[in-house]
A and B are shown apart, each in its own frame.
Chain A
Amino acid sequence: MMPLGLTTWFRRRMFALVAAASVASAAAPPVAYHLQKRNELVALARSDAERVGAVVASVAEQRPRLWAYDVTKISERLTAEGLSRLAAFTVRDGRGGAVMSEVRAEGGLLWGRREAWLGGKLVAVVWVGVETRAMWVGTLLITLGSTLVAALIGAVLYLLPVRAIARAERRVAGLMGQLALTLQEEERGRIARDLHDGAGQALTAARLHLLALRRAAPEHAERLGPIVVHLDEALDEVRRSTAVLMPPALVELGLRGALVRHCEAVAQATGLEVSFEAPDPMPAVAAHVETACYRVVQEALTNVARHAGAKRAWVSVSLDRLPPRDGLEGEPALRFEVRDDGRGLASGAPRGSGLESIAERARLLGGEASFADAGPGLRVRVTVPLTERSP
């Protein structure tokens, strides 16, 4: 079956798209949270700086010359205003000289700055620091959560369409294979008919004319004899080719009858003892399915005759079910089994082309093939659905 490559093509593009979308959607919540929290902390820092500045301005108003040295008074007033637990703050006078500074936090800080004015003159500049640890912890937790959610959603968005495409691709490929099989068998049948109706008829007519000529001119019988023999050989070849292309027994006797005749022909030609067992009547299947099943048994017996070194072979046909698929119960199926008592498959040896073609036919029909050690010999088992389905 020719691979379409659609699944691979789609998977690559879908992965890139889903990955980009997942990362973008995962990053959005932590970025939004972080920005918002950062703004809140800066606003809080500036608000506290405003309040500290008001305290400093008040003290400066009471002691305009020496307020920058009255740290005790400022501390007392800050405590009274509920500002004694700031993570960090720094007060500078109007010229940038140090007044007081306290840092109680060990981690990172975000700073807010405010100026304190008194009578149109810059009295002090205040910085207040707020801890950022809680913000980072929150950002991390939201990141972990959002990436997990994005990963789960991304996995679903990726797997669902990719699997659907893969299923569709298999169906299309199977249908194409079935179509190829059908066309192949139809073409064979057409060629067989053309051979039979065209070359076969012409050769038969020529033979008849030659026989009539030999009777009419017995003095030429010796020269005409070999021509008739060659014509007979050609006719036999046409019949053999026609039979290979389109087994006449299938048309005349149906699948069961054709298999019985083929088993007898193989037994006669090879000396194998061939047993056959099948339900009577056999369930009806489509014409190309019949042909494919006939060819499976034909190929399997050819394999036994050429490679197995067996004395006996058993051919059986029975009703079975395929394994469940896509959540549905297994379909009714026909099981064809060819077993021999020969040398079996060598351990680790690759399957030959005959067994490979059996496996391929089974797959194109939507069925299964297995090749197992029969102890002694090989068991070839092919199961095909009674109704057509894609591989």
Chain B
Amino acid sequence: MKIAHFADLHLDAPFRWAGPDAGRQLRDRIRQTLRNVVDVALEQDVDAVFCGGDLYEHDFLTPDTESFLVRAFADLGDIPVLLAPGNHDYFSPESAYARADWSENVHLFTENRLEPFDLQDGVTVWGAAHLVPANTPGFLDDFSVDRDGINLALFHGSERGWFTDQEDGKQPHAPFDLAQIGEAGIDHLFSGHFHQPKTKPLLTYPGNPHPLSFGESGERGLVIATVSDDGHISRETIGVSPTDSHDIRVDITGLGHRDAIRDQIESQLSSLSGIARVTIKGELAPEVDFRLTDFDDVAAHLDAVVVRSGDLTPGYDLDQIATEETVRGEFVRAVSNADLPSVDRDLILTIGLRALQGRDDLAVV
């Protein structure tokens, strides 16, 4: 039996770092990701498609996306689609889960306790739903299966052992311990919530299939799990995102003008596709006049580019200037000795030294 499992798609999620235009484009890419999930599931001739929650964003879901979602799952024909609402798409009478006219192959878990679904003879899928956006208790607490055969589980939850390893800001929704899976008689738990993909013998977190932010690593996407008759799981992850995410650092040390910096950025982005975050770092030559907004239109072939300044040091011989018995020397000494964040210190030095040079291009922020 083959199961296609994904989670944390976050349809209609706002991309706060991208702005409205790129954000809309990326939301379209997330839709494309779901279409790819459907295509791969059909190609792989899976027996069921699981979604481990956070399929969409409750607060942002548009009618158009809701309609698209219904159509996408309907395209799977007779292949059962099991949906376990998460904290971002919790089930409620007002939710799209309750509103939409799902095709018959879609089964929705709507209780905040594990409920059985007979996927096949001898194969039971225990699923549960988040009914509120926060403070959902653990589904595996005091739970054990009541039947023989293969018992799989599907819900959106936080494995406590990994919680501290996960990205900042994650709340321990529906927490559970790894040991609880086996103790409950579950042969394998297909889950969602952590965007960082992780696998254990009894647990699968597929990660968010489409990039939601930068710095995401690990093989992520649609997990094709083959369940043997004894409940053993073998997994394969297939990328389904049409968007690559790149985190690029551009060193501008030695670059004497903004066109050179632009060339450097475009050079590093020219062969890429998808979305990119460019962090400008290095020594900012004193004569270089640029602002981050100068690069808003760089690499137009990408879906979105975010240019930010990183570890950008002023291109001055600060040690030398600090020896001067001048206002400039005193300024550099004072700023260097001040208790400031390094980024602020470098920017203040750049602004002050440029001002002392009589320039009007004082800041890059």
**A and B form one complex:** no
Q: Which residues of B contact A (CB under 8 A)?
A: none
